[in-house]
Structure 1
Amino acid sequence: MDFFVLSWNIRGVRRREKKKAIRDSCRRCKANFLFLQETKVESIQLADVRKIWPRNNSDFAVSPACGSAGGLLSIWDKEFFTASEIIIKRRFIILLGSVNETNFRCGLINTYGPSVDAEKEGFLSELLHHLSQWQIPWCLGGDFNLFLDEEEKIGFTINKTMISMFRSFVFEAGLIDLPLSGGKFTWSNSREIPTFVRLDRFLISTSFNLEFPQIVQNLLDKSLSDHNAIHLSVEKVDWGPKPFRVFNSWFLEKDFEKTVVNALSNQKRRNKATKIGGLIKGTKEAIKGWSKKRGRDFQKLIPVLERQISELEIRIQEGEGSEAVFIKLCELKGKLWAQYRIEESQWLQKSRLNWNLQGDRNTHFFI
């Protein structure tokens, strides 16, 4: 499942240029969610969302700005995510719902922390209170106006108390600070002696990370804001065609040998000059076809055998047993045991548990 969140402190959405920049970024990032901070508008309508968001089937939530200060906008794809509850506060927007494809229930929070130090403790306490109300996977993104390490700031003074307070919040909430790829800082001023700080980030809970172990966050190139947008992504990895694998259990099945012999004979008959490489390739295709068909039949065989055994045992219990019935029952039980052995052999080969039986290089250290 692909999962993409774009978060950006845009510093105002009124201008056409910024709306186009947001729309282009969403399209490039294939965003399912968009978190905007500092919209600097008190009201956002559907017509405004359509100028920002490149998809048609969407929903949105707005936390209005106070005059020209602050403001939050969250937009999401309704075909991807269904929001069951929306909580709008001055400093954050909470989305509670489920990913439609997998029914994965989670919470996502668009966050914009206060810039005044005196307000930051109350902001984190309120956020922590809401996080503790639901025992679900969480994903927080936005401009926290805080940072976690002294190395995340260059220039001006560093308030170690604020760093410690933010660290305590992350620890108490059970959140993970993901590594940032593509750069170290998300905001800079435009002065002769610049200041660089990482104010924007994504924080996720452990359960969210377990659901998406390949999750990463990337710093995007700076555009029309003094903040860089950050992109949270979980993307399917295309490893190419699966390698061809022969399972040892196949050699125990009569049809396998017959398939290989027939494949070789047919190729030789069609072209006597076929080289060894061509024979191997043709035989591999025949085995793959046999394996695919066998796989469908194999999954049905065990329950069929178990049902047939039960039916024969019921006949015997009702006094209908004869020598032929007993012979048939023994035959079916033998086939069932054989099928379970084949299945067990395949799982063992798939799981690669040879080290568990034979030990590895470090075994002597633990004995």
Structure 2
Amino acid sequence: MNDQALYFKFPLRILNWNVRGLGDAQKCDVIKDIVIDANPDLITYQETKWSECSIFRVRQVCPAKFNQFEVLNAEGTKGGILLAWSSKFTLLDSYVFNFTVSATLKINNFKFMFTAVYGPQEDRRKMEFMNEIRKIRELNNLPWLITGDFNLYRDLEDTTGSIRNMGLLSEFNNLIADTNLLDIPLQGRMYTWSNKRPHPTFSKLDRVLLSYHWNSFGATHSLKDLPASASDHTPLFLNIKPHANPCRKKFKFENFWLKHQEVHGVVAAAWATTSHSPNPVRVFQEKIFTVQRELLSWARRKFCKRDTLLRRSKWVLRQLDRVEELRHLNTIEFRLRIKIREHIFGLARDKELRWKQRSGSAWLKSGDNNTKYFHAVANGRKNLNSMATIQDGNGTTIPEVMLP
């Protein structure tokens, strides 16, 4: 993954749009004009309603630089996906399933997977759709971008209409959490679809999801809307930019690790490893590096999903509170809410301790609930965490060339 961070040097611009049919020539002209103005590198259209595709049809809705594409043909006049990319990308592999089209692409030495989805409208097929997304994640461990019309909700506020199946809402949130995906917020808009009636219904059906890889190497992203001049769905435009100077993260010992007894065994086992170097300084260095590596490995196994668990626990608590406004909670729900609150307090306490350590504000006591303050101070200290020189016991500065 460090290699991928170093290779990601160019911005990516992606346009996603449920176009609701591409059979009208005038409509295709309007869509192509919007694409030319946006100047994306990758495009995906859902509901093309094409039973078959050709380069001639792609030229009607995409500029000439999009000379490579993959499609999922419509079933009669229902559905259909077009995924197209510009000539600067190299196709490594592609996958077409029942609801998705995926392409593994390379630009220079940077590799990633791009998936376009069109989720089924029928509730009976939505679990099949979500299972298909899980299987795609298992194809590789590359940085992943998945976008399209999911036809699923994550929250009660995702529509001004009614949600018939709360179980699907929960399953969709579980899918996003289990596959370590990040739902990119749309700037300036709450919804992506409208029925365009005098008293309209609004829904958020279209999304962009990114895997954790993009954040791990410092990529920044923004998601904006484009004019919905040719469809009742809003076009989404994603801009992903590389970090200016991707670098290896420094090791930091987290104080809250000490709250877990097994950390002592991890350190002891790592320190007991044998080194074959005759240089005692090198032996010491190797032991330190081994301890760091084993601690990070242990922490990833034990804590990698703690922030996700905290978000999910808050979401469940919020849903229970909303249900209570409509009816009394039953005994199981009431006890579950108590357990979730206790769980949230424990996770939040660990999070506060983590940011308290990074901020260096030792004069604040644990429990002061100043996580946001700790976060701000920690970010301000980054440029101070450097060592200009090393001096020996006599106060003599050691030249850099003599350091092991």
Q: Secondary structure at the match of 1:228?
A: coil
1:54 to 52, 63, 69: 63
Aligned to 1:246: none
Structure 2: which 5+ residue stretches go unaligned?
1-9, 245-357, 367-404
Contact 1:156 1:195 in 2 (8 A): no
Scaled by the length of structure 1, the TM-score of the pair is 0.62
2:101 to 63, 86, 93: 93
Residues of 2 paired with 1:47 and 1:212: CA distance? 39
Contact 2:218 2:243 in 1 (8 A): no
Q: Pick closer, same or farther for the CA change 1:366–1:233 going to 2, 3 Å.
A: same
Q: Pick closer, same or farther for the CA change 1:194–1:57 going to 2, 3 Å.
A: closer
Farther-moved stretch of structure 1 (151-160 vs 220-229): 151-160
Q: Pick closer, same or farther for the CA change 1:212–1:111 going to 2, 3 Å.
A: farther
Q: Pick closer, same or farther for the CA change 1:188–1:115 going to 2, 3 Å.
A: same
Aligned to 2:22: 13
Contact 2:20 2:47 in 1 (8 A): yes
Q: Does 1:29 align with 2:34?
A: no
Deviation at 1:10, TM superposition (A): 0.3
Q: How does 1:211-360 map to 2 (within 5 A)?
A: 211=217, 213-235=219-241
Residues of 1 paired with 2:242 and 2:168: CA distance? 38
Deviation at 1:360, TM superposition (A): 8.1
Aligned to 1:207: 213
Residues of 2 paired with 1:156 and 1:57: CA distance? 40
Q: Secondary structure at the match of 1:106?
A: strand
Aligned AA (1:59) = Q
Q: Does 1:134 align with 2:134?
A: no
Q: Pick closer, same or farther for the CA change 1:121–1:47 going to 2, 3 Å.
A: same
Residues of 2 paired with 1:21 and 1:182: CA distance? 23
Contact 1:153 1:197 in 2 (8 A): yes
Aligned AA (1:67) = G
Aligned to 1:150: 156
Cα deviation code 1:39-81 (max 9, x no counterpart): 01111211111221113352011111011000010110121x2
Aligned AA (2:361) = N
Contact 1:212 1:234 in 2 (8 A): no
Q: Does 1:125 align with 2:128?
A: no
Aligned to 2:54: 45
Residues of 2 paired with 1:89 and 1:177: CA distance? 22
Scaled by the length of structure 2, the TM-score of the pair is 0.57
Cα deviation code 1:263-301 (max 9, x no counterpart): xxxxxxxxxxxxxxxxxxxxxxxxxxxxxxxxxxxxxxx
Deviation at 1:123, TM superposition (A): 0.8
Deviation at 1:362, TM superposition (A): 2.3
Aligned AA (1:115) = Q
Q: Secondary structure at the match of 2:138?
A: helix
